[in-house]
Structure 1
């Protein structure tokens, strides 16, 4: 019997395919990149007058455990959450001056990579489920 927190479709670390492991690495790397860029941007590299904007990074810590555990639900809702960071990066990238502009476009790149990884993960898992 599986623990209640695990759904039956969640692959374990041993059973996950190499493709899913690569996709997870891209997702976790992109999420980590968003966290690092967000903190560095708002605290040191190009902070706004109040450094309170660094709080925007806090929601990115929540899905980290779910991504590492291959939780399908986490990959689904992160693919929606990431569009907030994409939009902020795009708006600030078009309106701010360097170096904030470069950091904003870096945030956009990480956001797109995270979305692609989440979409690939969900598609791969659902494709494997329907092939059975």
Structure 2
């Protein structure tokens, strides 16, 4: 029973942080601090998160597994932009790093807690 609560928590942590990351990517590049005046094509990086969101919402363990490595792209981008950008963009990059870290933690926890070797623990 304890594992089921942890599985549920890690699932919703993953969903919430992934949705927040998508919203951040879109709003950052279109309105808050775009690289170019009037918006940036970098907002399309949020589209790359949508296939992962569908698998996470459905609780597919395989999505959590590959997603834990895939989300590191946004982590690295956030670190690089936090280091190289100035002003609001630097702050938003820090938020991106935090959200990507939460995503990674949720993905890794869910994949670990639902591993087949546990037997009866299912999502």
The answer to whether residue 62 in structure 2 is matched with residue 62 in structure 1 is no
Gaps of 5+ in 1: 1-15
How has the CA–CA distance of structure 1 residues 79 and 131 changed in structure 2, closer, same or farther, with 3 Å as cutoff? closer
Q: Which shifted more, 104-113 or 18-27?
A: 18-27
Q: Given the two structures, how large is their TM-score scaled by the length of structure 1?
A: 0.82
Whole-angstrom CA distance in 2 between matches of 1:82 and 1:64: 11
* Equivalent residue, structure 1, for 2:94: 105
CA RMSD of aligned residues (A): 1.4
User: Displacement, 1:18?
Assistant: 2.5
User: Are 1:40 and 2:35 an aligned pair?
Assistant: no
Shift of 1:33: 1.1
Which 4+ runs in 1 deviate beyond 3 A? none
Q: How many residues align?
A: 115
Does 1:78 find its partner at 2:67?
yes
Q: Which has the larger radius of gyration?
A: 1
Structure with larger RCO (C-alpha < 8 A, sep 6+): 2
Residue aligning to 1:13 = none
